[in-house]
Amino acid sequence: MDYKDAGVDVEAGRSFVSQIRQDVESTNRPEVLGGLGGFGGYFQMPSGYQQPVLVSGTDGVGTKLKVAQAINRHDTVGIDLVAMCVNDILTSGAEPLFFLDYLATGKLNSQQLAEVVKGIAQGCRLSGCALLGGETAEMPGFYQLGEYDLAGFCVGVVEKSKLLDGSRVQIGDVAIGLASAGLHSNGFSLVRKIIETGGYSWSDTPAIFKGNSLGAELITPTQIYVRPILELLKTEIEVHSMAHITGGGLPENLPRCLNQEQSIEVKQDSWTIPPVFNWLAQAGKIQPEAMFNTFNMGIGFVVIVPLEQTNLALDWFKGQNITAFQIGQVVSGDGTLSFS
């Protein structure tokens, strides 16, 4: 017997690395040293920092992968993977530098997983970070045929004096919400439950989606906010804090970017909720509170600015063709969110 008899094809693994090499190398930054295939990835610190602070983050795609595998669409979940990590570290003001992925499957399907890596590389290009390396694990008996799982790890850098940690937020500051691209990568266990119990199919085409199937609508990748936010931080607009709206929605994530003894009031009708959320609420008979505690409801990222700079910030986002809304204001409180 050999390793292949046990279900692990080493030669296929080597071939897969060669297949994805061009996509990986397309993400290189000047700071990348060496190439793909070593035991580690090498990255030198960018110049120009006086007191550089490294910021790291890790995340996965979750059960959204089940949708991708059900509809046999694998070129977008890699974008989700990168987005969930880089958007997190972006909230501190950090520029993403490099990314590593972990991809695990029961049996290596080179065509399928090459599509996944294409998406990861695209996410890295969109956020300006290098795909420095990764690991592909073939684990027979651990995953069903055609299944795979993803995890990602990102490192960024920010000047210590410009680090955003909530300490700059003041009472009266305004929350500006940036539009999401749909569900992003959260709440899919509930989504799948709605589809299953309601007797729906991923190929169904509800009129509200204007020709898109359920699967195509739900697989829309997570919005990456890195480039416009890094540009915003170079303007005269004072950004006091930021939040990435992921699992737990606005109620859980927005208070995380506040200072001590502060809360935030959100005007619930201050932005347009995308149709996908309305469909899910109706199909699953989900109460509004549960919807807001599970999904981003159309707001994927929030920037906190001084009250007097609200219009300046909104106009700046409009000039960048980014949909933004004034959604709330910081008030005295105990670190909670309330709707009005």
Q: How does pLDDT run across 243-279, given as a tens digit for each residue? A: 999 999 999 999 999 999 999 999 989 999 999 999 9
Q: Where are the alpha helices (DSSP H) in 136-219?
A: 188-198, 214-218
* Region(s) of the chain under CATH 3.30.1330.10: 10-162
Q: What is the pLDDT of residue 7?
A: 66
Given a contact cutoff of 8 angstroms between Cβ atoms, the answer to whether 147 and 114 are in contact is no
Q: What is the residue whose two structure tokens read 């549960």?
A: 290
Is residue 11 very low, low, confident or very high in pLDDT (cuts 50, 70, 90)? confident
Is residue 95 very low, low, confident or very high in pLDDT (cuts 50, 70, 90)? very high
* Region(s) of the chain under CATH 3.90.650.10: 174-339
Percent of the chain at pLDDT > 70 equals 97
User: Is pLDDT above 90 for 35?
Assistant: no
User: Is pLDDT above 80 for 307?
Assistant: yes
Given a contact cutoff of 8 angstroms between Cβ atoms, the answer to whether 166 and 253 are in contact is no
User: Is pLDDT above 80 for 1?
Assistant: no
In the structure encoding, which two tokens stand for residue 46, read together?
């960018």
Cα separation, 322 vs 288, whole angstroms: 26
**Chain-centre distance for alpha carbon 21:** 24
CATH pick for 174-339 out of 3.90.650.10, 3.20.20.80, 3.40.50.300, 3.40.50.460: 3.90.650.10
* Dihedral angle computed from the Cα positions of residues 281, 287, 289 and 291, in that order, rounded to the nearest 10 degrees: -20
Q: What is the pLDDT of residue 23?
A: 86
User: Is pLDDT above 80 for 211?
Assistant: yes
Per-residue model confidence as pLDDT tens digits over 128-152:
999 999 999 999 999 999 999 999 9
In the structure encoding, which two tokens stand for residue 236, read together?
């005269």
Cα separation, 127 vs 124, whole angstroms: 5
In the structure encoding, which two tokens stand for residue 137, read together?
């694990």
Mean pLDDT of 282-304: 97
DSSP class of 272: P
Given a contact cutoff of 8 angstroms between Cβ atoms, the answer to whether 280 and 194 are in contact is yes
Q: Does domain 10-162 have CATH number 3.30.1330.10?
A: yes
Per-residue model confidence as pLDDT tens digits over 43-89:
999 999 999 999 999 999 999 999 999 999 999 999 999 999 999 99
* Alpha carbon separation from 276 to 96, 262, 291, 292, 302 (Å, rounded): 30, 32, 12, 13, 20
Is residue 5 very low, low, confident or very high in pLDDT (cuts 50, 70, 90)? low
